[in-house]
Amino acid sequence: MNKNHDKLKEISPKHRQFAKKVIAGESAGDAAAMVGFSPQYGRELMCQDKIKSLLLREMEKAGISEGYLATKLREGLEATLAPKKDGGEKHPDYFVRGQYFDKAVRIRGDYAPEKVEHTRRVINITVTPDFIRGLVDAKAIDESEVNALEAEIVEDTP
């Protein structure tokens, strides 16, 4: 069994949906949001080996082979503007060529990897009977919510 096949076995249905949305043309952020992840998570998903393997497999199934990509990339790198008048010469479209150049070097991995930082904050709130009474007095919660709140309190054991 090959390594890519093993990676594909560990992919959840949501990850598969994400990959299909990306193949269909959605941005990583939009695809992530469409399947229930945060849009910011889309960029991280695109960096995961298992997602990359799935995307490559799906691209091959859609007829987007490495040869096809190379041909289209070359066409973009050689893009020209239509002549301004009949019989005129075509001119290089440097804007389009620049976009394709950027894509080419990204594909090759010539850019430094993008850093994705995730921070997780944990807030601990000490809930005492006086705190609960203060919430009720301030009308932030009503008496019916007090029982539900007390049921969720976890005792901190030293």
pLDDT of residue 54: 87
For residue range 75-95, what is the model confidence (pLDDT) as tens digits? 999 999 988 777 788 889 999
- pTM metric for this prediction: 0.48
pLDDT at residue 6, as a whole number? 55
**What are the counts of helices (DSSP H) followed by strands (DSSP E) for the chain?**
9, 2
DSSP per position, 17-44: HHHHHHHTT--HHHHHHHTTS-TTHHHH
**Which residue positions in the chain have pLDDT lower than 70?**
1-9, 149-158
Q: Is the dihedral of CA 28, 29, 30, 32 positive or negative?
A: positive
Domains and CATH numbers, the chain: 1-62 (1.10.10), 65-114 (no CATH), 121-158 (no CATH)
pLDDT of residue 3: 53
Q: What is the pLDDT of residue 74?
A: 92
| Strand ranges for 22-141 from DSSP E | 80-81, 91-92
pLDDT above 90 covers a percentage of the chain that reads: 21
CA distance 126 to 88: 77
